[in-house]
Amino acid sequence: MVAGVDFGAHLPLIDFGTRPSLLGLKAYAKTAASLGYRYLCANDHLLFARPWLDGPAALAAVIAESQDMTLATTVSLPVLRGPAQLAKTLAAIDILSDGRLVIGVGPGSSARDYAAAGISFDERWPRFDEAIPMLRALLAGDQAFEGAFYSSRGIDLEPRPAQRPTPPIWVATWGSPAGLRRVARTGDGWLASAYNTTPEGFGEGLTQLAAALLKEGRAEPVPHAIATAWLYVTEDMRRAERVLADVLAPLLGRPVEQLQSLSLPIGPAEVCAERLAAFADAGAQRLFVWPLCDEVRQIELFRGRVVPMLR
């Protein structure tokens, strides 16, 4: 733990020119564990700008190499995968990891994913609001849920997850008032996104979340994390600019100028440390980095050169 922040590493699921392999994933997970990263994360997309390896399958494949790290879906998509199918997969990961899973869930923001799954994109929010209690009911096994889209009636998924009644379920939102109310109403934690907020915006979100929790009768704060902190440590500013312009901007479909205005750890180690210190000062408890290319070397550079500057 540095400056009050635990760090996690996203599995390198995106093909940046080097095809993902089981050997590579295992080496990455083993390195992350040895360097003291506390979380190993996997994101979820069906279709993307670049080839994307299946997140839950990849997370399951490196359970042994993850050692004592907490495994996190950041996020998984219960609407697209189906709550029952996803619950079955997540229960297996929790069992095989001896109860080390945190379930991050979100509706997904890709209309292409919804078209591929044959689900109306316009239904994503009402379906997501039902998918969370449905997922809880399926994982717990002793609850019932009945909604307009989903019903747990007659569904008995066994074996149950190792964590009872369920692994913690963190709800993802970029920080909108409606999203934070959803976290307070249905979540065990909040999962934010480093490329969809700023330190100032995140700090404001924490204040709003505290108020929303009180309205729900929940006096205690919930844990939170900032995911998808795209990472590339280099003292070569031209190289950093090329990574932004040639890799990240087309990956996300966003203008370079917009990305430059964010507090992403891309550039010299001192700059990366300053940007992440701003999130820590805003109240961040956990921050999950995602290397852009040369993944193992990047998580080594981050721990070796950036983190010491945060002490």
CB atoms within 10 A of CB 59: 29
- The pLDDT value given to residue 3: 55
In tens, the pLDDT along 74-90 reads 999 999 999 999 999 99
Q: Which of 35, 95, 1, 5 is nearest to 295 (CA)?
A: 35
d(CA 43, CA 287): 15
Report, as an integer, the average pLDDT of 255-272: 96
Phi and psi of 105, rounded to 5°?
-130, 150
Report the phi/psi class of residue 30: left, alpha or beta, with left for phi > 0 and alpha for psi in -120 to 50: alpha
Phi and psi of 15, rounded to 5°?
-80, 105
Model confidence at 247: pLDDT above 70: yes
d(CA 9, CA 72): 10
For 69, the 3-state DSSP assignment is: coil
Model confidence at 18: pLDDT above 90: no
In tens, the pLDDT along 141-197 reads 988 999 999 999 999 999 999 999 999 999 999 999 999 999 999 999 999 999 999
d(CA 202, CA 273): 17
Q: Which of 281, 297, 300 is nearest to 226 (CA)?
A: 281
What residue type is 264 in one-letter code? L
Percent of the chain whose predicted confidence (pLDDT) is above 70: 99
d(CA 189, CA 93): 19
d(CA 127, CA 142): 22
The two tokens of residue 244 are 């932004």
CB atoms within 10 A of CB 309: 16
In tens, the pLDDT along 35-64 reads 999 999 999 999 999 999 999 999 999 999
Give me the domains of the chain, ranges plus CATH numbers. Answer: 6-225 (3.20.20.30)
**If you search the block for the tokens 């069906």, which residue do you land on?**
46
The two tokens of residue 106 are 């979100």
- The pLDDT value given to residue 251: 95
Average pLDDT, the chain: 96
- Cα distances (angstroms) measured from residue 13 to each of 57, 166, 295: 11, 26, 10
In tens, the pLDDT along 267-293 reads 999 999 999 999 999 999 999 999 999
In tens, the pLDDT along 222-233 reads 999 999 999 999
Model confidence at 19: pLDDT above 90: no
Say how many CA atoms lie within 13 Å of 227 toward its Cβ.
27
- pLDDT band at residue 2, thresholds of 50, 70 and 90? low
- pLDDT band at residue 1, thresholds of 50, 70 and 90? very low
- pLDDT band at residue 310, thresholds of 50, 70 and 90? confident
d(CA 232, CA 171): 27
